[in-house]
Amino acid sequence: MGIVDDIVTEIFMHNKELPPLLAKTIKQKLGVSIGEFSEKSGIPASTLYKILSGERDPNLRTLRRIINTMDEIERGHAKKKKKFIAMICSRGCLEALEKTTIKAGKETFDIKEYSVASIEEAIIGAIKAERDGASALVCAPIVSSTVEKVVNIPVATIRPSSSVARAVELAAKKAS
């Protein structure tokens, strides 16, 4: 969900007022001044101030311009962020991770860690990673099929091979 979706949800689902939501969104979430927003949207600053103070309700055309400008600014912020792959797994798995970046073709991705201790935390972590702007994510096989259904980014599954064999050998030693 984007910033505009959040505003619509707050207004219609939680009965919040538009002026304080817009003010907070423009200044804090988008990180622009009212003057900058006015310039980008083409809406006079005086009109924006009246809307933000609750003195005036925006007409449909003005509301569309506000929404489109928020969307453009948000997409611009997303493009500027460094690309990363989310690694969602237990602390032990994350400690075994040797790289902090990975190169694929011409792209370089940071690896951002999301430590989890349960299946529920892994699903929540995947949703959070997508919201944080992850380009893709890596998670355990037990949760990957569920995660693929709730996120819209590529999901890769951890396929342990040598560690599985070592675990079986260790179990056999303990059992004998």
Structural domain boundaries in the chain: 3-79, 84-160
Q: What is the pLDDT of residues 105-155, one digit of tens each?
A: 888 888 999 999 999 999 999 999 998 888 999 998 899 999 999 999 999
Q: What is the pLDDT of residues 126-138, one digit of tens each?
A: 999 998 888 999 9
Which residues neighbour 117 within 8 Å (Cβ) at sequence distance 6 or greater? 90, 91
CA distance 86 to 129: 6
Distance of CA 36 to the CA centre of its chain: 25
C-beta of residue 176 within 8 angstroms of C-beta of residue 152: no
Helices (H), ranges, the chain? 3-13, 18-24, 34-41, 45-53, 60-80, 91-96, 119-132, 141-150, 162-175
DSSP summary character for residue 5 = H
Q: What is the pLDDT of residues 22-34, one digit of tens each?
A: 998 898 888 888 9
CATH topology for 3-79 is: 434 Repressor (Amino-terminal Domain) (1.10.260)
pTM: 0.51
**CATH class for the domain made up of 84-160:** alpha beta
pLDDT tier for residue 1 given thresholds of 50, 70 and 90: low
